[in-house]
Amino acid sequence: MLLFGHESNRQYPATQEQWYAGIISELWRGFSLPKGQAMFEWWNEQGDIPAAQIFSHFIQDKLPRSLPDLEMVIFIDEIDSVLSLPFPADDFFSVIRASFNQRADQLAQNVVNFAFFGVALPSDLVSEPSRSPFNIGTAIKLEGFTLPEATPLASGLKIEEKSALAVLSRIIYWTGGQPFLTQKVCQLINNQLEKQNIETFSDTGTSLEDFVDTSIYEHIIDSWENKGQPRASKNHHGPPIT
């Protein structure tokens, strides 16, 4: 899920109550909890308490009780969007920290897990210096495919087997192994092979490196330039294209 308040949502909550209500609403729907007015009724049952505390009740009580046999992981993309909110999100992370610290007391219950994705450092997420830093998580470093890791993609290339791995190696050279882009370029190369009815690189009259390079320049880099892409793309003169 994306947190409300990120520009891609085009929703900017005016208050913390609206922000927490939006998060709970998304999770309520995502976990297929009762529809209709059920969420609003549950919210009102919490009484006149801060919205962050209602969120705490939802994470630590409502979800585990509603889905006792489900191992729950909540994925939140672009967590750095909290930095642009008109109010601090410190309480949000305090709730998650409290839930994490109470695991020892909740062994009989299911515990909700969180995975954050974004460019913010954990130290950036809590703005109040007097609060404990958000340092309970385990960082997962995402790296591009190495050639051995990407080798299964070679079997999908419509070229003789002996050349497929070399083609893939040249693709990795350009993409840096970025998974999505690597697969897109593999698809591009396949399209060019089919369009030109090429079965072996001897048919091309050129090296496989030149064939891959030319395809990328003509269909990706030149396309970016012609469509008025950002200056970084226009100034591109070589790999990687990520």
pLDDT at residue 196 in the model: 76
Q: How confident is the model at residue 236 (pLDDT cuts 50, 70, 90)?
A: very low
Residue 141: per-residue pLDDT: 78
No. of helices (H) and no. of strands (E), the chain: 12, 2
Residue 178 has pLDDT above 90, yes or no: yes
* Tokens 């006149």, located at residue: 48
Decide if pLDDT at 230 tops 50.
no
238 vs 95, which has greater pLDDT? 95
Which of 16-25, 106-115, 227-236 is predicted most confidently? 16-25
Summarised one tens digit per residue, pLDDT across range 46-69 is: 999 999 999 999 999 999 899 988
Residue 17, Cβ density class (10 Å: 0-12 exposed, 13-18 middle, ≥19 buried): middle
Contacts of 73 (CB under 8 A, 6+ apart): 112, 113, 114, 115
Q: For the chain, give every domain's residue range.
A: 7-125, 147-234
Q: Which two tokens stand for residue 57?
A: 């009740």
Task: Identify the three-state secondary structure at position 225.
Answer: helix
Question: Phi, psi at residue 19, to the nearest 5°?
Answer: -65, -50
pLDDT band, residue 202 (cuts 50/70/90) = low
Q: What is the mean pLDDT of residues 27-51?
A: 95
